[in-house]
Structures are given as C-alpha cells and as structure tokens.
Amino acid sequence: MSLRLRLTIIYSAMTGGILLLLGVVTTALVSIALIGQTDEILAQTVNRITASMHVDQRGGPTVFLPQLNPAENVYVQIWNTQGNLVSASPGLSGLQEPLDPAGLQAGKAIYRDVYISQSHLRTLSMPVELGGHPFVVVQAATGLALLDSVRQSLVDILIITALVATFMAALASWFIAGQALAPLKTVTETALQITHADDLSRRIPYRGKDNNEVGQLIFAFNETLERLEKLFVSQQRFLADVSHELRTPLTAIKGNADLMRRMKGVDEESLTSIEDEADRLTRLVGDLLLLTQAESGKLPLDLKTVELDALLLDVSKEMHVLARDRVQIKVTEIDQVQVNGDRDRLKQVLLNLVSNAIKYTPQGGQVFISLGKVGGQARLIVRDTGPGIPAEDLPHIFERFYRAEKSRTRSKTGGFGLGLSIAYWIITHHGGTIEVDSQEGKGTTFCIWLPLLRTAED
Ligand code: ADP
C-alpha cells in the first residue's frame, strides 16, 4: 500500500472516529437531559396526587381520592392492592390494563420505558402506604415520541456530518500527502536514472523551501552524490596515475632487455638500468601499499616515547651521504624534545622532507634543520635554498601523485609524488600538522607541529 494511501486512510479514519465518538456522547447527554426533564414532570404529577389523598378514620378508614386531571400528555392510574383499577385520568378511560404491569409489583418508586400499542411511554409507579401498609399504587405515564424524534434527528445529523467530514478529510489528506510526497517521486526517479546511466554528476532538482523534511533529504542526497562523485573521480585518477607510473619503468626494462637481445650479449649499462627500474618499481609498490593501508585504516601506529632530537640527528647523519658535497646540511637549533609516536613512521617523514630538500636544491645550496618547543608543541623545520614550489602547485603538494611541473621530468632519483601524501597522513595521525611555505627562487620551508609528550608532572 502506498504511503499516500496509508496517510489518507489514517487521517480519514481518525476524523470519522472522533466524530463518531462526539456523536455518541452528544446523543447520550441530550437523552439523559430530556429523560431527566420527563421524569421530573412525572414525579411532580404523582407527588401532587399523593399529597392530596387523605383518609377519614371515622367508621373505618375511607380513602378520598383526588380529582385526576394531570397536565396534557400525562396519564394517571391508581391501582389498589387487590390489583383493581381504582381511578384513571380522562385520557385513559378505555385502558383497563396497568400502564406498567411490572411497576405494580415493584414495591418501590420505579421509572420504566414501556410500549403500549406501539407508543413509547415513560412511566413512574409509586406505591402509597396507609398506616404502614401498602394501600394503592399510583402510575403516571407520558409519551416519549418527541424525545425519540429529537434523538433520531440528532443521530441523522451526526451521521451525515461524520460522513461528509470523513470524505472531506480523505480528499484533503489525499491531496496534501500527494503534494508533500511528489518531490520524493522525483528523488526516486533521479536516483534510478543515476544508477542506470552511471552518471554521478547528476543532481536532484528541488524548487521548494530547503528547510522542510523533503528539502533536507534532497540536500543530503545531493551532498552524498557530490562526495561519491569526488571519490569516484579521485579513484579513477589514482588508477590512471598508478598505471602510468608502472608503465614507465616497465617500458625501460623491456627496452634494455630488447637491446641486449639484439646485441647478443650482456650489457653492463643495460643491466644497471634494469636494476634501477626494478628498484623504482619496488619503491612505488611499497609506497602504494603503505598509502592504501593508511587510507583504509589498516596501518597501525606503534606509539612509544620518541626522542625527536636523537631521531633528527640520525636522519641528518644518513642524509649527509645523499647530500655529499653538493648541498650543505646544517642543524641550526636542536632542543630535547619527546613526543608520543611511531619512531619508524616519524623517521620516514623526516627522511622524505630532508631528501626532498636535498634532491630539489641545486649544487651549492643549503638545507637548514631545526627542532624546538614552541607554545607547548614540538616544532620541526626543514628549510632549503632550492628553487621553491610554484604558487599554483602549493595547494596540491600533499595530494597523491602530485608533482610540481618542474619535477615531472623524470630522473633516476625522481619520486612518484607519494612521499608528502604519506607524510601528511603520518603527521595528522599523530595529532600534528604539517605546513609548507615556499617562494619561487627563494626556497621551501616545511614545518611540522607535534604535541609534546605529557609527563606525570604535567
Ligand atoms: P616526490 O617523490 O616526487 O618528491 P613528494 O610527495 O615528496 O614526491 O613531493 C611532491 C612534489 O613536491 C615534488 O614532486 C616536488 O615537485 C615538490 N617538492 C617537495 N619538496 C620540495 C622541495 N623541498 N623543493 C621543491 N619542491 C619540492
């Protein structure tokens, strides 16, 4: 069953139910009020009659019955204890039966509804005692035709009103639910179109107000689509980049192998080249594996106390070998700094930053390294006097496979543009930040901020 139909049924059933309840309560209250009024008239009549009865005790009790002339539409009978009709009001001259046979036997005042020749009557039977003994029973009755017709009209009006109101409620809720749910139909259709056409660039149009529930749903759905599209595009780019990076060394290996086959001998230079390319491939696969593990949350960090200063000296020593006499490495400031981190991963970051600085700085340049505590954080700076990074490349430098235009011309030491992405992941997962500042022709500065190790005294 559709949501629209279900809402319509619920609303109209509720309207009908409420009106039905209202009808039952109203009819009951009106009936009670009218019956009360009728009973009051009967009681007044009977009381008037019994009050005017008197007994003459002289020569045995003799009962003097009053003249029975009750109000219009009220009939009275007086029955003695032997079951004989003693007196009756003029309107009942023909009736020899009691108005209410059961009331005669009741022994107490009792109101009852009776039917006499299809007329609906309300009766009051009142026993009257004389000297502590039952003497006569006075019965009064009045027709309930007016009350019945009032009650019937009320029921008719309420049924018609309830039916009309239920029909109107059904119509209105069908229309309103239709209007409210119409955008959902568009959402479903667009979602299906996106699935069938495999087109994540589509968005769901919505012209209503954004702050209602459907508007919010469409907004959220469009945001999901946007994110999916971005992920999809980045995945495609990632695949293209990986294939491109794999193809280059493989082509070189194949070229060198072909060359050796044609020369019919082992060529030392070609073998070295094959070895270099194989090393490059191994590095690439290693970096890719690390990055995918990191991004899928499967790269655990082995957190321990790390002496950053000792780590930095290690790295600078290793890097002197790479720099040789080409570039000068200077540790300008070193403070004793402890952080909570994964030593190997932090070393990987430092190696990447310093080796980049050496790699991109031309002969005679300098690389400055410093480590200190600033504002309750560890600050590590790697600065070089190299060519700098163009402003247009700077915002993308931490993206996977991103290499500034000048670094794209591949050399044997050329990287894949993965090092900084890995460094970014490692530092942010240590609760730190990594920043870059660079000006073309003036050099590049990388700055890492890490939270200091909290000691017991802290
Ligand atoms: P790669 O392996 O290519 O060095 P990275 O992710 O480490 O990859 O660096 C990305 C790019 O950032 C490099 O290709 C280079 O263009 C630029 N870059 C990084 N460090 C420096 C630096 N110190 N000086 C100039 N350019 C740099």
Is the pLDDT at 357 greater than 80? The verdict is: yes
Q: How far apart are the CA of 227 and the centre of ligand 1, in A?
A: 28
Alpha-carbon dihedral sign for residues 259, 264, 267, 272:
positive
What's the DSSP call for residue 65?
Answer: P
State mean pLDDT over 279-296.
Answer: 89
Q: How far apart are CA 129 and CA 155, in angstroms?
A: 43
More confident residue, 393 or 118: 393
Least confident of 35-39, 121-125, 292-296, 366-370: 292-296
Provide the token pair at 294: 């990191």
State mean pLDDT over 65-77.
Answer: 72
Q: How far apart are the CA of 403 and the centre of ligand 1, in A?
A: 6
Is the pLDDT at 439 greater than 50? The verdict is: yes
Which residue has its alpha carbon closest to ligand 1 atom 20? 356
pLDDT-derived band of residue 65, with 50, 70 and 90 as boundaries?
low
Q: What is the mean pLDDT of the chain?
A: 87
Is the pLDDT at 288 greater than 80? The verdict is: yes
Length of the chain (residues): 458
Prediction pTM value: 0.60
Return the best residue to mutate from 359, 366, 368, 389 for the ligand 1 pocket (most ligand atoms within 8 A of CB).
389
Report the nearest atom of ligand 1 relative to the CA of 406. 16
* Tokens 């299906």, located at residue: 192
Report the nearest atom of ligand 1 relative to the CA of 404. 16
Provide the token pair at 292: 């995918």
Q: Side chain identity at 305, as an amino acid letter?
A: T
Q: Is the CB of 353 under 6 A from ligand 1?
A: no
User: Which residues 6+ apart lie within 8 Å of 172 measured at CB?
Assistant: 11
Question: Interhelix angle for 213-263 vs 268-295, to 10°?
Answer: 160
Which residue has its alpha carbon closest to ligand 1 atom 26? 389
User: Which residues 6+ apart lie within 8 Å of 171 measured at CB?
Assistant: none
CA angle (111, 114, 117) in 5-degree steps: 150
Q: How far is CA 135 from the centre of its chain?
A: 80
86 burial (CB, 10 Å; 0-12 / 13-18 / 19+) is middle
DSSP three-state, residue 368: strand
User: Under a CB-based contact definition with an 8 Å cutoff, are residues 129 and 107 in contact?
Assistant: no
Is the pLDDT at 62 greater than 60? The verdict is: no
Provide the token pair at 278: 């194989």
Q: Is the CB of 327 under 6 A from ligand 1?
A: no
pLDDT digits (tens, 9 = 90+) for 368-392: 999 999 998 999 999 999 999 999 9
Q: Is the CB of 245 under 6 A from ligand 1?
A: no
Which residue has its alpha carbon closest to ligand 1 atom 8? 417
Is the pLDDT at 64 greater than 60? The verdict is: no
More confident residue, 245 or 208: 245
pLDDT recorded at residue 410:
47
Q: Between the CA of residue 278 and those of 247, 254, 256, 453, what are the distances in Å?
A: 12, 11, 12, 41
Q: How far apart are CA 51 and CA 55, in angstroms?
A: 11
Q: Is the CB of 360 under 6 A from ligand 1?
A: yes
pLDDT recorded at residue 360:
92
Least confident of 23-37, 122-136, 302-316, 327-341: 122-136
Least confident of 217-231, 289-303, 409-423, 432-446: 409-423
Alpha-carbon dihedral sign for residues 109, 112, 115, 119:
positive
Q: How far apart are CA 322 and CA 2, in angstroms?
A: 72
